Amino acid sequence: MTQTVSVRPVRGKEDLRAFLDVPFAIYADDPNWVAPLYFERLEHLDPKRNPYFKHAEVELFLAFRGDKPVGRISAQLCRLRTERYQDGVGQFGFLEAENDLEVFAALLDTAADWLKQRGATAIQGPFSFSINDETGLLIDGFDTPPTLMMGHARPYYAQRMEEAGFAKAKDVIAYDLFSVGDTPRPLQIAYEKAMSDKNVVLRPLNKRKLVKEVEVVVSIANDAWSDNWGFVPWTKDEMAALADNLKLLVNGDYIAIAEYKGEPAAMAITLPNINDWIAGLDGKLLPVGWAKLAWSLFAKPPKSVRMPLMGLRRKYHGTAAGAVLGMAVIARVRNYHVGRGTTKGEASWILEDNMPMRRMIETFGGKPYKTYRIYEKLIG
């Protein structure tokens, strides 16, 4: 006789470890899944270390069949999002479950009930935890591994979501941004035009002034994306956390800033795709993982990079100068990475209806190769 599914909140270190361990059984035979590093996930889930918790309430849940964990989910309410949109939407994330509708339904219902008790009238996700973190459920592109801070899933996840009554809210796209070869002509033209314009300064990030430089980058991002679907501005604490991460992961040439008439106007950030380096470590840095990661970080260029942030101030949207600035920052970081031997770049994620950005990326040869879906459902 099949045991019923029960769901309970995560309490204590043992439950937290079980929460992190759930995906291992689900992806045991999936060669494209990359186990995240335990220490990084523990930091992300730690209210004392993740600035998201300063403006959000979070609960983690585990699903059990008997004594065996068979699924997990988070439920979260972001105060900044609630104040900005006032639409009654709460969010869920970290969804992982075995191929059983009963498990999916139990997890999703539990998250919805938790949100409903706090006044939410709809549930949306997955976000782990926010739209500035891991966003969406993979629905297309299962045949390649995910890049840094992008999710992976089994193909059955989408079907179980729909069977549980969830519908599409929005899709986001991951683009294969470049491969080895000559710089695409449109990018090269934009780069040369920017470099010849006395009003334009195209430069790398100055790590000696890291805090101020990150403020510049986030200022552009908060302005550029302010009208985007679901956008929540970055806070000062989140800026500080970004600066700490950039200090370790990148040199200044991973980031391009374009100034126009003395004002920072556009930026593009790339990060090494750490998933290339940690694949096979099963989330552990001991006994040899530290050595492998340190060697990869400092001794050689990454095989692939991800561009998670690119922005152009709104006043330049739809202008000729804006088109040049946007393509020039991409060209600068692309040229840097390709020149070092990096063979792949991903731009992710891009809203499906952000057609100006999509057209620009596709103009210089970017190809969509993964789709992630954000789902929603009314509560009650």
- pTM equals 0.95
Is the CB of residue 137 less than 8 Å from the CB of residue 158? yes
| 188 touches 196 (CB < 8 A) | no
Model confidence band, residue 291 (pLDDT cutoffs 50, 70, 90): low
**What are the extents of the domains in the chain?**
6-173, 181-342
Name the residue among 153, 178, 173, 161 with its Cα closest to residue 124: 161
Is pLDDT of 181 > 70?
Answer: no
> 326: how many CB neighbours lie within 10 A of its CB?
27
Q: Where are the beta strands (DSSP E) in the chain?
A: 5-9, 56-65, 68-78, 89-97, 122-125, 127-128, 134-135, 137-140, 167-179, 200-204, 255-260, 263-272, 304-312, 344-351, 367-378
Q: Which helix (H) or strand (E) holds 232?
A: none
Return d(Cα 379, Cα 26) in angstroms, integer: 28
pLDDT higher than 80, residue 251: yes
In the three-class reduction of DSSP (H, G, I as helix; E, B as strand; rest coil), residue 100 is classed as coil
Asked whether residue 180 carries a pLDDT value surpassing 80, the answer given is no
Q: Which CATH superfamily is domain 181-342 in?
A: Gcn5-related N-acetyltransferase (GNAT) (3.40.630.30)
What pLDDT, in 10s, does the model give residues 27-68? 999 999 999 999 999 999 999 999 999 999 999 999 999 999
pLDDT attached to residue 239: 86
> Which architecture characterizes domain 6-173 according to CATH?
3-Layer(aba) Sandwich (3.40)
Q: What per-residue confidence (pLDDT) applies to 348?
A: 96
pLDDT at residue number 297:
64
Q: What is the pLDDT of residue 187?
A: 86
Mean pLDDT to the nearest integer, 17-25: 98
In angstroms and rounded to an integer, the radius of gyration of the C-alpha atoms of the chain is 21
- 6-173 and 181-342, same CATH topology: yes
Which residue(s) pair with 123 in the sheet?
90, 377
**Confidence (pLDDT) at 91:** 98
10 Å CB burial of residue 199 (0-12, 13-18, 19+) is exposed
**Encoded tokens for 289:** 């993982």
Q: Rounded distance, CA 165 to CA 112, Å? A: 12
Where do we find the tokens 């596709």? 362
* Distance between CA atoms of residues 370 and 353, nearest Å: 15
